Amino acid sequence: MKLTRVLVVEDDADIQKVIRMSLKMRGVAEIVLVDTGADCLERLKGFTPDVILLDVMMPHLDGYETCRRLKQNPATRDIPIVFLTARVQKADRERGLKLGALGYLTKPFDPMTLHDQILALFPEASSRKGEKGTGAEK
Amino acid sequence: MSGERHILDSLGSGLLVLDAQNRVEFVNRTLAEMLHMVPEDWVGRPAGEFLAVMARFALPVALPRFDWPEIFGSRDIEWRDGESLRYFREDSAPLSTGAGGAAGGRVFAYHDVSHEKAVDRMKSEFISVASHELRTPMTSIKGSVDLILSGFAGETSPEMQELLEIAQKSCDRLVRLVNDILDLSKIEAGQLKLNLERLDVTEIAVRAVCAVKPLADKAEVRLRVDRPQPLPLVDADPDRIEQAITNLLSNAVKFSPPKSQVSVELSADGEWVQCAVCDQGVGIAEKDLHRIFGKFQQLSEGRRRGGTGLGLAITRGLIDEHRGSIWVESRVGEGTRFIFRLPITAPHSPSTAALAGQVAKP
């Protein structure tokens, strides 16, 4: 499997750049960056990425709420979501995964392995999808 | 008691005295008002009836077990009265006759600690928010440095490479420090949630050894697990016990000379499963042993090797939360053994474990 299109939802411009370079280095062709949860919902109209990298702490619409809305919408619910967040506590992780995310990665991340860490989440997701038919619930 | 009644009624704290027959001997005005009752109505009545009234307000039920006559107790309880929620610390002690002998009764004092609880909560929230906020700039710094070091942004001179590696190492240390502060604040605030499972500590030790192996390989230190007999199962949180063993192993590796060995020795007796992490390193001077589990009490060698100074404090906190015990044995020049024990009998819920931790013999 190869990641070709990634939507990055991150409100910190510097971290956006690091994520973009990290994915570009590993050959991801299309990396779309948005700053907010609302922009994420908007950008997904007519655009289906291989995965959404989603920050949690963002103003107005946080990552959890964005994820919840994406999973409720039939048009977006099958797009895998991977949280990439500074919220490292167990309860935060459990909350993210309960919302149907494929994975939960924490900051600071290693830009050299970010791409592989995201890819590594996929085999489990596909088997779960087969079982439940609703995407990558954990 | 009646002579001192006006003094005891003037106290800001609630006061209850039960006699040797487990009957109410005295209730001061403050506690009576908390319970909306007339104190005189209660003298001589069974403690159980009093308990039933108290249970309408207090959680957990406000009387500790009456069959602990020799033990001083202290615990925090929630006090709900309509819309109002306050926190009280209940201290209890055996009632002395004053002549050195025990009368068999018990005295309970209720202090309002709502303000302390609020301050504690604010402190924990601050640490939690600060740790999240610190992660954002650390992510940018670490990410940028890692990418430059990878050669992605072009070639770097050997001097630049060396300086960037210093920045990278320091950033990694900062991340560990933030993680450790967050962990320790949770432990100290009693907010660590243990996910208890019935488990074999051997499996956890093997996992910890795998996690530390890259560090050990780099330091040319051999790791091994010794388990002479199968271990009884314990009720413990696998992630937290792995964190404890990993902390001890990382420490042991850091202080071990190349070609030496670090071993995890597992054993059990009727009551405990014991895990000892043993190294053949420099050892710890006797004068330093007493402070080894303190916060930021690392010896200078530890600081030089990139430790945060919180690892052992966290490890002790994790073991305490499991109602276990931990200690250290060491000889300079021969090596060090960190030993912890976990009870084989199932621990109670974490809140009960925390309560047990607060109860001390006089």
Residue with tokens 């924490």: A106
Summarised one tens digit per residue, pLDDT across range A35-91 is: 999 999 999 998 999 999 999 999 889 999 999 999 999 999 999 999 999 998 888
Residue A6 has pLDDT above 50, yes or no: yes
Please indicate, yes or no, whether residues B256 and B329 belong to a single structural domain of this protein: yes
What are residue A30's DSSP bridge partners? A5
| Residue B168 confidence class, pLDDT cut points 50, 70, 90 | very high
Task: Flag if B135 and A86 touch (Cβ within 8 Å).
Answer: yes
B84/B264 Cα distance (integer angstroms):
51
Count of domains forming chain B:
3
Domain that holds residue B352: 197-358
Q: Output B97 or B227, whichever has higher pLDDT.
A: B227
At residue B358, the pLDDT reads 34
Q: Which of A96-105, B246-255, B345-354 has the lowest mean pLDDT?
A: B345-354
The reported pTM is: 0.68
Inter-residue contact B57 to B35 (CB < 8 Å):
yes
Is the backbone peptide bond immediately before A108 cis, with ω within 30 degrees of 0? yes
At residue A135, the pLDDT reads 33
Task: Tell whether B140 lies on the interface with A, counting CB pairs under 8 A.
Answer: yes
Residues of A in contact with B167 (CB under 8 A): none
The three-state secondary structure class of B129 is helix
Six-digit token string for B75:
């615990």
Percent of chain B, pLDDT > 90?
45
At residue A112, the pLDDT reads 93
Task: Tell whether B152 lies on the interface with A, counting CB pairs under 8 A.
Answer: yes
Task: Flag if B140 and A90 touch (Cβ within 8 Å).
Answer: no
Q: Determine the residue among A92, A112, A116 to mutate to test chain B binding: the one whose Cβ has the most chain B Cβ atoms within 10 Å.
A: A112
Domain with residue B206: its CATH number is 3.30.565.10
Please indicate, yes or no, whether residues B48 and B134 belong to a single structural domain of this protein: no
A97/A135 Cα distance (integer angstroms):
12
Judged by CB atoms within 8 Å, which residues 257-296 of B form the interface with A? none
Query: Mean pLDDT, to the nearest integer, of B199-212?
Result: 94
Domain with residue B44: its CATH number is 3.30.450.20
Domain with residue A36: its CATH number is 3.40.50.2300
| Residue A138 confidence class, pLDDT cut points 50, 70, 90 | very low
A66 located within any domain: no
Q: What is the mean pLDDT of chain A?
A: 89
Please indicate, yes or no, whether residues B204 and B138 belong to a single structural domain of this protein: no
Please indicate, yes or no, whether residues B130 and B151 belong to a single structural domain of this protein: yes
Task: Flag if A107 and B135 touch (Cβ within 8 Å).
Answer: yes
Inter-residue contact B39 to B27 (CB < 8 Å):
yes
Task: Flag if B143 and A57 touch (Cβ within 8 Å).
Answer: no
Domain that holds residue A14: 5-60+71-107
Residues of A in contact with B145 (CB under 8 A): none
- CA distances A68 to A38, B48, B165, B276, Å, are 13, 49, 40, 46
A120 located within any domain: no
Extract long-range pairs of B111-115: CB within 8 Å, 24+ residues apart.
B111/B12, B111/B13, B112/B12, B112/B13, B112/B86, B112/B87, B112/B88, B113/B76, B113/B87, B113/B88, B113/B89, B114/B86, B114/B87
Please indicate, yes or no, whether residues B67 and B211 belong to a single structural domain of this protein: no
Q: For the purposes of burial, counting CB atoms within 10 Å of the CB of B270, is it exposed (0-12), middle (13-18) or buried (19 or more)?
A: exposed
Residue B348 has pLDDT above 50, yes or no: no
Count of domains forming chain A:
1
Domain's final residue, options B170, B188, B206? B188
Q: What is the DSSP letter of B23?
A: B
Inter-residue contact B258 to B221 (CB < 8 Å):
yes
Six-digit token string for B209:
């050894």
Residues of B in contact with A112 (CB under 8 A): 146-147, 150
Residues of B in contact with A88 (CB under 8 A): 131, 135, 179, 182
Closest to B335 measured CA to CA, from B285, B270, B288, B278: B278
Summarised one tens digit per residue, pLDDT across range B110-145 is: 999 999 988 888 888 888 888 888 999 999 999 999
At residue B351, the pLDDT reads 36
Q: Output B173 or B352, whichever has higher pLDDT.
A: B173
Q: Output B64 or A36, whichever has higher pLDDT.
A: A36
Six-digit token string for B246:
């990993």
Please indicate, yes or no, whether residues B251 and B338 belong to a single structural domain of this protein: yes
Q: Output A83 or A135, whichever has higher pLDDT.
A: A83
